[in-house]
Amino acid sequence: MKKNKLEKAQIHQGFLKICGSFALLLLTNYAIAQGSGTLGYAKAEEIHLSEALGMLQKNFNLNIIYDAKELDGLKVSSKSILANDAETFFSELTKSKDILVEKRGGVYFIQSASKNATSNTSKPKKVSIEVKGKVIDGETSEALFGVTIQVKGKSSGQVTDFDGNFRFEDLEENDVLIFSMLGYEPLEVPVGNRSDWTIRMRNKENLLDEAVVIGYGEVSREKLTSSITSVAPKEFNRGVIANPEQLLQGKVAGLVISRDGNPNGGSSIVLRGASTLREGAAQQPFYVIDGVPGASINLVSPDNIVSIEVLKDASATAIYGSRAANGVILVTTRKAQPTYGFIYHAYTGVEQASNSLRMMTGDELRSYLAKNGQSLFPNDNDYSINQGDTAFVNTDWQDIVTRTAISQNHTLSYGGGTDRATFNASLNYFNQEGIIRESGRERIIAQFSLDQKGFDDRLNLNFQLTNSLDRQKLVRGEVYRQMVSYLPTVNVRNEDGSFKENTIDHTSNYFNPLGILELNQDSRENNTILGFISAKFDVTKQLNINVLGSYQLEKFEGKQYQNSESILPIGYEGTSYSGQQVGGIAKRFSVQNNRKVFESFFEYTPLNTMNQELKILGGYSWQDDVNNDGFQATNTGFVSDVTGAENLALGSNTLRVDYGNFLQVPLRIISFYSRVNYSLYDKYLLQVSLRRDGSSAFSRDNRWGNFPSASVGWLIHEENFLSGQSLVQQLKLRAGYGVTGNSLGFDPLLTVFRFGSSGTYYNNGVYEQALGSVANVNDDLRWERTSMFNLGLDFSLFSSRLNGSLEVYNKYTSDLIFNYPVSTTLFVHPTMTANVGEISNKGVELTLQASLMQKGKFAWEVSGNISHNRNRVEKLSNFEYQLDSIPTAGGSGAGVSGVSTQLIKEGYPIGLFNLFQWTGRNENGISTFRTADGGETSAPRFPADAVLMGHAQPKFTYGIGNNFFYGNWSLNVFIRGVYGNQVLNSTRAVLSSISQAYLRNIPLSAQDEPMTDVNNNFYSDRYLEPGSFLRIDNATLAYNFPMANSKSFKNLNVYVTGNNLFVFTKYSGIDPEVNLGGLTPGFDNNNFYPMTRGFLLGLTLDF
């Protein structure tokens, strides 16, 4: 059992206070005979009892409730206060017939026996009591602002003002007040018949003593031997938050989150470097929501999250085995409380594009063409004549397709209950317009939870049901390119109202961007429901059993309609058509995924003494998934475009129905896991875990995998050689090693021989469906394995004003799963999915939290993190499967389509650029490039003349938060950035096709370049730019309204937030924060939604 550190702190404090009170002892010579603690009336050696109680409060950091008037005249020896500890004093005090002492919930209640007897003989009646008081820090006696005070079992409550004051009216004697505040121990105080209170709240010893959620349990941060970062709601990013991942952006060392401005887009998340050659789910962390493994993060409303834990090293994640190679994110949502009340969160915001590409205006393009002896086609040069004056058209297409977007969010929660049964219900409504017209997102999340206790509180039952309905309006990817390249010299529409198009002079890839938006509708409706029930039964004080069962159903429905006026070609049955060609094209599809999970585990503590503690956990897990279960239908030839895709039967079916290619994919994982935690002398820590996973994705010989881990910790501050000093409050050294697996991101049926759709064949005048083998079978396919060694140092210095951790890790992934080329003379298909490659990631992380200043009403707190990761591909080939490199990041555009600008190659990091070296222009004004033999040429060969140069991996990433407090005001400013990476500005390269400036718009930066340069847009080091940036990401100014005298409201906080306020960078593109994850980091190919800058006004109201 953990030592009572509070007692140790009291001993040190008591020694100082005894010295300070020595003068008082010299003035008294009275002793309590035989320790009887007799009370009486005034004597020379006595002091007032109320004065003595005040001394005890201060000396021993106690909560003592009493009425000074009631105790008037009662005295006690001053010597008895210092001669004994607090418990002995109160024990002796109870022997007196004049006084009553009662201890409830850690609070001492002192009453006069005579007055209490009088009150007991009177006729009981309901009396309204007014209570007022002050809440102070138990050690410093400073007033505590923001302490939440709830009336237990009722809806009333409030928050202390800046001076720590509170006031309640209409309370009853049997009411109980619950005091709570982050960083302090919660306190329950019965009201009784006292009116004036001083509440002393005890600090949790420091940040290292707070409880941290880990896999299948909790542990104090002090006893944590793994690398886990906790993020509390007060540290979350604020803004128009569509996905919970955005709350963490820049907050966790080693966790890199990239996201554009698309309201329907997901986030790219990489923890401690990319460690697989597959994208999608294979690179994403594993989510555990309220203890449910693999739950969808889309079910969580950001307003309902109370904590997020990021498990970073293998000693922490190995308990989740084959799903934890990319880290684990544990999300805990709001739970039911016994106090009734509402919480309402709301904000409304506006967003605009934070930046735009400076393309030529219509007049600038005409001038550029004239300077180079060129001109526009007549159909591409619109003008108007007004009273003899000719005005040529200047259309800003980026301005045409974007808008100022309005967003709103509302979350209402209501909860309550009793000590034995509580409930909580919440409803979230989120609506975000996209800054690109026709795009947006509307989401509703409803959640209900119920907790019930039974069998003398030995049984805890929890039921939770969550439903998310997410409606999305999407935009076609072609819009991003056309909004900057479409000629600014034409009108948006023709005189008849149709969209201006030129299909005569432009034969391909040239479409009116606003026409794309308005003539091509694409919507999704995602309905996700999760229900789970869990039970915990305490068999004995040392043994408990836990059972959890959950069912999750995700259903995705899509509608697409291409108007009969649209000229944009779309894929259809292996070819492409436009709506104009076939009289409109409609498509509807529905696909669902379902997941059933059963977990059962026990926790046993066979050893719990002053010197040793042993905890054992063992469990079983069963997961059954059925994914991609869906169907699709299409139709063409619609008489009217009014109904869109709502009624497929209105089409004339001029083309064969496209049923899609949905293949139901089952996956089952069965696991056994265990963990042992041991503590010796409360300073030497050990944790060992083992998980054995079996997956249906592999053959019988390779189905099971073992994932062990071990970690140790040493609480150095508990050693005698650090006693007696005040510099170090906490110092812990820890080390851990573990192995995790990865079996996601590939077809889990590759070990089974299957037949599937293989096109069509012509039979007797009819096209028949053909069947064929789907893929090569590999019985030797097995788990990817990621091993990680982690060394960490946690510290707390200068009276806990500076806290932090330093981490060093070595992460190594082997048996990488990838598609390798094989001979078709030996195999049916040209590729085989096999285990071959290896990738390493080595890094250092530093996290700091500091209280820099606290003076009067002003306080300043700083938090920050910085991390460095070195990524390296160690191996790609073996004897059986050979690959020199893997080409990635293929370009698009005239002369560069299909050119791979990056290579995955042994000895280099992922994101390695492979480009031409630009040497200038020849006498004809054409760009020349370095050849492989050191010469120059205007006709470079790819890849022969390409050179490996630079990469997209940053030298370090960082985030810095500053919190300023003054009275009821607070200001938070968060800065994050990246340093030392490179970005290929493919967008600038493709748009700089100056020889075709009469067909498409070009950047203003190309105005001095000759149109004769047909090579100007070739991928070269000209377009490789530094990607470092510093972003003022978030600034929030908030005011907390005092509610001490309010009967209806507990707390009101109003805030104003600005997002993405400034970016400092040398990058010439729209935004330097190009995807840092996946297999193509740092590749800006004009294929992402513009970043936004937004401002919002919000409030949080408790009532």
* 3-class secondary structure per residue, 844-870: EEEEEEEEEEEECCEEEEEEEEEEEEE
Taking alpha carbons only, the member of 129, 147, 130, 151 closest to residue 138 is: 147
* pLDDT > 90? residue 62: no
Average of per-residue pLDDT across 608-618 = 92
Does the pLDDT of residue 1039 top 80, yes or no?
yes
pLDDT at 893 over 80: no
Task: Name the token pair of 434.
Answer: 């996209």
User: In angstroms, what CA-CA distances link 76 with 24, 50, 84, 613?
Assistant: 14, 9, 13, 43
Q: In this structure, which amino acid lies at residue 115?
A: K
Helices 49-60 and 5-20 pack at an angle, to 10 degrees, of 130
Helix or strand holding residue 80 (H, E): helix 78-83
Residue 654 has pLDDT above 70, yes or no: yes
Tokens for 633, please give them.
């239908």
pLDDT in tens, 723-772: 888 899 899 999 999 999 888 888 888 888 888 777 788 888 887 878 88
Query: What pLDDT digit, counting tens, does each position of 804-816 carry?
Result: 999 999 999 999 9
Q: What are phi and psi for residue 960, nearest 5 degrees?
A: -135, 125
Q: How far apart are CA 182 and CA 382, in angstroms?
A: 65
Phi and psi, residue 586, nearest 5°: -120, 140
What is the CATH T-level fold of the domain 126-204, as seen in this structure?
Immunoglobulin-like (2.60.40)
Condensed to tens digits (0 to 9), the pLDDT of residues 531-542 reads: 999 999 999 999
pLDDT higher than threshold 70 for residue 117: no
Q: What is the mean pLDDT of residues 1057-1076?
A: 93
More confident residue, 359 or 218: 359
Residue in 678, 845, 811, 808 with CA at minimum distance from that of residue 733: 808
d(Cα 238, Cα 407) in Å, to the nearest integer? 14
Please name the residues in contact with 122: beta carbons below 8 A apart, sequence gap of 6 or more.
none
Q: What is the pLDDT of residue 116?
A: 52
Domain boundaries, the chain: 1-122, 126-204
Question: 277: which DSSP letter?
Answer: S
Asked if residue 943 lies in contact with residue 1044, where contact means CB atoms within 8 angstroms, the answer is: no
pLDDT in tens, 696-707: 999 988 999 999
The pLDDT of 82-105, averaged and rounded, is 64
Return d(Cα 997, Cα 638) in angstroms, integer. 38
d(CA 383, CA 338): 72
Instruction: Give the residue with greater pLDDT, 430 vs 896.
Output: 430
Quick one: pLDDT at residue 387? 80
Q: In this predicted structure, what is the pLDDT of residue 975?
A: 96
- Assign 107 a pLDDT band (cuts: 50, 70, 90): low
User: Would the CA dihedral through 1077, 1078, 1082, 1083 be positive or negative?
Assistant: negative
User: Is 960:920 a contact under the CB 8 Å cutoff?
Assistant: no
For the chain, the average pLDDT equals 86
Comparing 115 with 799, the larger pLDDT belongs to: 799
Q: How confident is the model at residue 1041 (pLDDT cuts 50, 70, 90)?
A: confident
Mean pLDDT within 215-244: 87
Residue 887, both tokens: 């080409």
Give the pLDDT confidence score for residue 857 in this predicted structure: 83
Q: How confident is the model at residue 6 (pLDDT cuts 50, 70, 90)?
A: very low
Dihedral sign of CA atoms 415, 417, 420, 425 in order: negative
- Positions of E strands within 856-995: 858-875, 885-890, 900-905, 912-915, 918-921, 927-930, 936-937, 947-951, 956-966, 969-979, 982-985
DSSP state letters, 504-557: TT--SS---HHHHHHHEEEEEEEEEEEEEEEEEEESSSSEEEEEEEEEEEEEEE
pLDDT at 334: 84
Q: Rounded CA gap, 204 and 684, in Å?
A: 21
> Residue 686 — very low, low, confident or very high, per pLDDT cuts 50/70/90?
very high
Write out the two tokens for 471. Answer: 């409606």
pLDDT tens track for 459-511: 999 999 999 999 999 999 899 999 999 999 999 999 999 999 999 998 888 99
Q: Determine the Cα–Cα distance for residues 610 and 680; give it in Å rounded to an integer.
A: 9
Residue 46 confidence (pLDDT) above 90:
no
What is each CA distance from 910 to 89, 273, 890, 1082, in whole angstroms? 69, 9, 15, 10
793 Cβ neighbours under 8 A, 6+ residues apart:
731, 732, 733, 734, 805, 806
Q: With 60 as the cut, is the pLDDT of residue 81 above it?
A: no
Question: What is the pLDDT at residue 1017?
Answer: 92
What's residue 377's pLDDT?
95
What radius of gyration do the chain's Cα atoms show?
35
- Look at residue 193 in the predicted model and tell me its pLDDT: 64
pLDDT, tens digit, for every residue of 841-878? 999 999 999 999 888 789 999 999 999 999 999 999 99
pLDDT at 934 over 50: yes
The pLDDT value recorded for residue 148 is 81
**CA 709 – CA 314 distance, rounded (Å):** 7
Alpha-carbon gap, residue 153 to 190, rounded angstroms: 12
Distances (CA, A) of 1019 to 358, 897, 945, 1069: 20, 11, 12, 15
46-69: average pLDDT:
68
Residue 676 or 775, more confident: 676
